[in-house]
Amino acid sequence: LDLFSYISLLIAHTAMPSNSRRSSVVAPLSPLFTFLNYLAFFGWSYVLYLVSVLLLPALPSVPSDFIATVQTPVLVLEGICIIEVLRIAVGDLPGNLLLGVVLHAIRLVAITQVLSHSALEGLWTGPAVILSWAVTEVSRYPMYIFPDSAVCRSIRMVVPLVTFPIGAISEGYGAFTVFVQSDTDVLVKILLAGMLFVNGILGPTMAYPALLKKGLPVLGLGTSKKSDASKKKN
């Protein structure tokens, strides 16, 4: 995500829940999950609104209170994402549990330990990361809300092709900046080292190629698996 966020965007998060896979344990909570989808969509839309009202009047500067202002709604929305990871764990959503855990662990580290650090105050690192997260999520939830919409699914597949590099590079820069600060705690440095590995190694070699494989066919620039399968049959 956003860094590694995007392997999960395609594997842990983008996959649509299937009625045949729905766990009997959480099936009665289906209306709640539908409500959370709407809440997340409008919540991330609100984050986009906050970004615009905070940044536009201050351009080209970044308000010193930018992260402090958006931090609480982002943490609440990440809580909804954690619920989605738990649903993966119980089989109610298809996806890779490990990748979902890694994705949101990195986001939590970024919003609590990286973007809020004084070394990044006034820089565009924070706005770039938050904007990439918000645009990604606003483009994701309509696919849940309107599961039969090909347009929503196509948007979901294409948007991360742009938001991934913006988020991954910005997160990586922020993590490195905080890592080299003398006042950064050793435990935080360990977390940041893992974050840098994910963003710098796994992101470009695993996450983005996976995104391209999903998104380029939507733009008519690649061949989807379905097309390959149909060609083999013929």
**Peptide bond just before 94 cis, omega within 30 deg:** no
Positive or negative torsion for Cα 191, 213, 87, 94: negative
Measured CA to CA, the distance from residue 133 to residue 129 in angstroms comes to 6
Q: Which residues contact 202 (CB under 8 A, 6 or more apart)?
A: 4, 7
Q: Tokens representing 219?
A: 């733009």
Q: Are 164 and 198 in contact (CB under 8 A)?
A: no
One pLDDT digit (tens) per residue for the chain, 234 residues: 454 444 444 433 433 444 445 555 777 888 999 999 999 999 999 999 999 999 999 999 999 999 999 999 999 999 999 999 998 898 887 777 887 888 889 999 999 999 999 999 999 999 999 999 999 999 999 998 998 999 999 999 999 999 999 999 999 999 999 999 999 999 999 999 999 999 999 889 988 898 899 899 999 987 765 555 555 454
pTM: 0.83
